[in-house]
A and B are shown apart, each in its own frame.
Chain A
Amino acid sequence: MTQEAGQRMLMAGNNAIARGAYEAGVYFASGYPGTPSTEILEVISQFSEIKAQWAANEKVAFDEAMGVAMSGKRALCSMKYVGLNVAADSFMVFPFAGTVGGFVVISADDPGMYSSQNEQDNRYFARLAQIPMIEPSDPQEAKDYLKLAYELSEKFSTPVLFRTSMRVSHSKGMVTLGERNEVGEGKSFVKDVPSWVVPIFAKALKAKLDAKLAAISDYVETYQYNRIEKGKGKLGVITSGASYTYTKEILPEASVLKLAVTYPLPKQTILDFCARYDKVYIIEELDSFIEDQIRAWGVTNLSGKDIFPRTGEFSPDVLAKCLFDEQPVNDFSKEFNIISRPPQLCAGCPHRGAYLALKKSGAIVTGDIGCYTLGALPPLGAMHTSFAMGTSVGNAFGFELGGINKVAAVIGDATFIHGGIPSLIDVVYNGGNTTVVILDNSTTGMTGHQEHPATGQTLQGKEAPKLDLVNLVKALGVKHVQVADPFDQKAMLQAINEALANEGPSVVITNRPCIFSRGEKHRPKTPYVIDQDICTQCGACQRIGCPAVLPGEQATIDDVSCTGCSLCAQACKFDAIYLKGE
């Protein structure tokens, strides 16, 4: 659909952020896929005016965008909130120097942990790094506030944290489009060692950073986008982001101080606002970030985390329950003994073959972040730890150092590139015997099949040099490297057992692509069928956890979702499962 200035159209928050980048005249955007942020860069990549690329990880994305900003152009980097943990090293130091071109970092938080390993309130990062933070509450604001973020960034020569949440990023609303504002040739990088070589001049630069934050604090006191919506009565609310939309549903009469900039807070504005009302509710998802600061100023007519939860996502129902003790309508599915629909590896997923073999090997499996984390759940139950991106490899080495020997790390191709490589170098360097199984499915699966350095394509689908994982791990010093087919159970188990028995570091790389990858999606597939006369109903085919093997006393195979991977046939001891048509 065409998108022209002045047009009003339905857009998701992430699409609106991307449109905001376009309108703001952003020159460069980088990022790493992560729910709920992924679509931002995918949509940006459709604008030919913006150079956009996936980075190997969030710190790399940050460093590239930072370089572009230092060169004088507007730059953006986008990531899931945990990505900011990875980028934090540069994120914390860059503010000491400031920026030349506008620089905005997008952190997409996930209150409620819909698709995340933890719950973390990234607003603290703005305070920690002493930089301003902007939070939109709906798609229109997502677009407009991104432009404001660039203005703030350039006005004060500072990076700006743009914090969105799952509900803002993944909700659609009406957005009025604007023109692209080509920023043109502005300032450019000037060699000036005391400004840019931070470690040597950090003391002087810290004083400058403190002064800058004080100036920004003054500026936001009269910032028109921190707006007061005057209501009726003696009740006030201070809120921002998605919480604002719930507030307007549940407290339509209250006076609202709606913050666009949530760091630094406009102290005098807030003190005056609080003085005007008998009671002020601080309605903020996750931690008491705003509330704690206001309480520290001595304000007492507040109510915040004494009634609202510190964990989980807010909703109009949550607010009504906390404010008026209005219970949400009872979820009656429980009285019906409803059965759940647990997430599971897809029919034909190559990870299943790796896990079935790993389970047979009896190893302790340290896991990582990706679709393959589902291998921890029954009936596979073949992964025993999982924390953060790239953690599996160091953890496996650690188990070994702790005296447990039969351990394998399992890590996806994108995750290995993101955060596994330094750990494997360390295993080699420190003489470990660690086994690493790289589940190479040739895509970034869980976030929706993004390209990465080992897929041979860029964000825009152009051909790119393809990182060779086999030669990479060999170059790191791993001598025992095997490529194995996860759909050949005998070969896969043999490769894993040999790797586990090997003295010295070992790597097994699986070689089957994700069923949704470019090459696989449209490949014609022949399903398997079960010969009911031979079947003994032993249940072995159902214990591989494939959704195409339909549950029931008598197993059958769904010929629509079956991809013909053959794992069920290999699990059958009675040769009752055969390729359709044979």
Chain B
Amino acid sequence: MKQKIVSVLLTVAMIFSLAACGGTENKEEESSGNTEKETAEGEVTFPLDEKLTYTAFSVLHASTYDLDDSLPMQMLQEECNIDIEFQSVMSAELSEKRNLLLNSGEYPELLIKSGITSSEMMDYGRQGILIPLEDLIQEYMPNLTAWLNDNNAWQWVTSSDGHVYGLPCYELAITDWTPYWINMKWIENLGLQEPTNLDELYEVLKAFKEEDANGNGDPNDEIPLAFNGMPDFLFQYLGEAVDSKTYCYVEDGQLTFAPVSDIYYTYLEFFAKLYAEGLILDTCFTITGEELTAMGTANDVIGSNPTAGIFLTVGRDRDEDYKMLTPFEKGKYAIGNGISTGVFCVTDKCQNPGPVLAMFDTFYSQEGGVLATMGVEGKTYTINEDGDWEWIVGGEYGETVDEVRGNGTIQGTTAGPYIAPDIWWTNMSPKADPDEVYLNKERVRTAEYGVSVLPNMYYSQEDEDIVSTLFTDIRTYCEEYTVQIITGEKDLASTWDEYVSTIEQMGLSELMEAYQRTYENSLEMSQ
């Protein structure tokens, strides 16, 4: 009996080890085939004589639009004689699906608009799941190479191991945090001024609450501050430029972790006061974005709201009542550099990445950028006599601007493989998409106050491990505490010390050492 069991177990073990061997052998074959083909192909001329097929993982824009069906991708695939089979998922499940896929071993050849983070890229790159692209870019992507060289931007796309694992997206550099919009019409109605510090902001929000700011005769239907999730937008107005990934700010070359600093005390104090006085939408931590939008578009009830573009919350009729609250101080307003990385990655399953990279290089020129972000002249946009461009709404590609953007461009939901062309923001006609024009104007206006906080952070493997181990727990605890303080469940003054010491116990000093080390190394490397 026992012998039987042992032998069965052995058989099972053997089957497993065989399966494992089989797996790796296949992969080796693939990758060796890979290099041979590359050298044989050399330059790529489109259209290809023989149709090439690739598989790709991507996100559905607005949970509706498949990248595959978008006009630019359709055109490009046809022109190049390349067919990409997309597997697209909803953005809510993007990171889960992406990680499952990449870890299952059954992943596609390309990741396009997959939302992959830079630390994931480095991890998967190190494992050999993603292949280094720097040589391929130089060989197959003249447009992107030129752009990276001209803008001295290689540093922003390179991982700390010196490899490039993902292509970049470039758009206008805007605030690092969610922009904070305030209703200027209400401020005018009440004869107030735009706030220039936290106390004034408080006074304004209080006035929104107490008086009939929207002028409909009911002084009680105004919500001075509506948001959902964490109100981190306030980091823009606390007197230190805080980086949104690490939650650190720099003082004399030293990084400080904002959530345990004095400015965070101010942050908590401010929101606790607002909440206690009913100036914040009281369902802010449970309401969904859709519910908030429904509330905001139905009636003129929102006094201020942090969101990427205010028309997303209050609709396109009243968005110009709002403006992005002007930063209180120059140089203390964190902005990004406009570059997102990892919008296009190639896995080791891809035997012949050259042609598809050459195809996507199209989107990295001015004209290609137009195709990617605006579509085709005469189909999705026109240029009027002033030289400004506007969307064609009501035509073949949709009844609204949103539909045209979904069907006619590769923009939206996450950054994509393109550089936004200059014409996008220099010549957008106010007639066709006034809301976007207004948004861009506001972005440019506030970005002038901005400062880029950190260089591109090149984490070493150890530091990366430390950060990924410690940061999530610390951040989760910090959010829990924040919610408890804001809703008045805990008293700030009496629990603050305990909160700080808990975070210290959770390994703050180790985390900060890793950040500081990486910061100093990265400063050197990017010079």
Indicate, yes or no, whether A interacts with B.
no
